[in-house]
Amino acid sequence: MNMMLLNQREKDILKKTIEDFISLGSPVSSQRLHKQYFNQLSSATIRNSLANLEKIGLLKSIHRSSGKIPTDNGYRYYVDTLIAESSKTIQEYDNIAQKLSEASDSLEDLLQATAYMLGKISRLFGIVVISKHQKNILNEIELIHLSSDRIMLVLGMNSGFIRSIVLNLEVTIDDFLLKVINQGLKDRLLGLTLDEIQASIEERLKESKYFDHEIVQILVQDPGKHFILSAEKLIYTSSFYQLLDYPEFHEVNKLKTLMSFFHDKSMEEYINKNFSDNNNVIIGKEIGDSNFNNCSIVCKPFENHNINGQMLVLGPKRLPYKNIKTILTNFTEIINNVI
């Protein structure tokens, strides 16, 4: 199957066929193409071009007398070859920037607001994924008494994330000793990334006079449990209700599968495996889950001095790819300026 054999007329007809199907969701006939877009061409010429595009696997017919719809390969050719990146600014840009700025006091609220707005503007399913290996540096650590044998450990990251963990102790601890241990942890751990703490906490604390205390031992024995961002802080999603506008998502089970797909998988691993600088769109079967054979995902990375991650939009295969790419480009620019 040699896509390079397409002539300009066939490229134009393929582009209009795909965009018409994206817009209307109905098979596209040669008569419609002739009437709406190519009245300078004969119906026979259009039919011959459609037949050739079907022969090489870019279009297909639902049944013998129907119009044409794109195949996965057709969408792939369209995304890779027939649409260009756009520097267009979406109409809602200033309003989005203002609303996200208002939510920027809390990083978690900002990221959730970003996912929500992304879904609302695209009218699809918006996702923000924070990379697990982000440059999270510990810049605050506090031990807070909850009761005589229960302590809350609060970790503050330079990125704005806050993690709190309750430690249940077998011994009681007074306020003075708690403050001493707290200061010792600050002296030895602040300014380090979470990965650095996980790898070296025992070495850094072993010479301290409170090393054998239960609080320190809890942290030393399982640093991977305590000095890590929990999974729910890494994925933020919009409401899925926008997807109900599309027949592809009318089955409730598909929506349930959608929810679990983005919360059960290792999203960083999935993104690294499926997206690259040369491919920011995965289509149909490329997603790797048969429940999503009629879906596509468009992705755009973002990064600044605090965090890095990806913004994604999921919808049916007939989503408006060029428009979604423009929306994602605008959103990544906004969030890079806000954070």
What pLDDT is attached to residue 307? Answer: 78
> 122-153: per-residue pLDDT in tens?
999 999 988 765 567 899 999 998 988 889 99
In a domain, residue 170? The reply is yes
125 and 246 belong to one structural domain? yes
> CB of 338 within 8 A of CB of 96?
no
102 and 58 belong to one structural domain? no
What pLDDT is attached to residue 147? Answer: 87
127 and 214 belong to one structural domain? no
196 and 163 belong to one structural domain? yes
Q: Which H, E and C letters describe the chain, residue by residue?
A: CCHHHCCHHHHHHHHHHHHHHHHHCCCECHHHHHHHCCCCCCHHHHHHHHHHHHHCCCEEECCCCCCEEECHHHHHHHHHHHCCCCCCCCCCHHHHHHHHHHCCCCHHHHHHHHHHHHHHHHCCEEEEEECCCCCCEEEEEEEEEEECCEEEEEEEECCCCEEEEEEECCCCCCHHHHHHHHHHHHHHHCCCEHHHHHHHHHHHHCCCCCCCCHHHHHHHHCHHHHCCCCHHHCEEECCCHHHHHCHHHCCHHHHHHHHHHHHHCCHHHHHHHHCECCECEEEHHHHCCHHHCCEEEEEEEEECCCCEEEEEEEEECCCCHHHHHHHHHHHHHHHHHHC
> 146-197: per-residue pLDDT in tens?
988 889 999 988 877 888 889 998 888 888 999 999 999 999 999 998 889 9
221 and 199 belong to one structural domain? yes
177 and 304 belong to one structural domain? no
Q: pLDDT confidence of 272, banded at 50, 70, 90?
A: confident
pTM comes to 0.79
**Pairing between β-strand 308-316 and β-strand 295-303 as defined by DSSP bridges:** antiparallel
Q: pLDDT confidence of 1, banded at 50, 70, 90?
A: very low
What pLDDT is attached to residue 213? Answer: 93
Least confident of 62-66, 113-117, 172-176, 183-187: 62-66
Looking at 212, 228, 244, which one is the last position of a domain? 228
72 and 184 belong to one structural domain? no
In a domain, residue 191? The reply is yes
CATH number for position 237: 3.30.450.40
Looking at 206, 228, 250, which one is the last position of a domain? 228
What pLDDT is attached to residue 31? Answer: 93
Q: Is the pLDDT of residue 10 over 70?
A: yes
C-alpha angle with apex 338: 334 to 339, nearest 5 degrees? Answer: 120
Rounded to whole angstroms, how far apart are CA atoms 280 and 254?
A: 23
What pLDDT is attached to residue 336? Answer: 84
CA dihedral 121, 127, 131, 132 (to 10 degrees): 150
224 and 239 belong to one structural domain? no
**More confidently predicted of 292 and 71:** 71
> CB of 223 within 8 A of CB of 198?
yes
In a domain, residue 178? The reply is yes
**More confidently predicted of 253 and 177:** 177
192 and 311 belong to one structural domain? no
Average pLDDT over residues 17-22: 96
15 and 76 belong to one structural domain? yes
Domain that includes residue 280, residue range:
93-132+232-338
| Long-range pairs, 93-101, Cβ under 8 A, ≥24 | 93/330, 93/334, 96/121, 96/330, 96/331, 96/334, 97/334, 97/337, 97/338, 100/334, 100/335, 100/338, 101/338
Rounded to whole angstroms, how far apart are CA atoms 336 and 339?
A: 6
159 and 304 belong to one structural domain? no
C-alpha angle with apex 29: 27 to 30, nearest 5 degrees? Answer: 155
In a domain, residue 62? The reply is yes
In a domain, residue 87? The reply is no
Looking at 228, 259, 282, which one is the last position of a domain? 228
In a domain, residue 284? The reply is yes
192 and 306 belong to one structural domain? no
Q: Is the pLDDT of residue 251 over 80?
A: no
Domain count, the chain: 3
CATH number for position 166: 3.30.390.60
Name every residue whose Cβ is closer than 8 Å to that of residue 259 and which is 6 or more positions away in sequence. Answer: 240
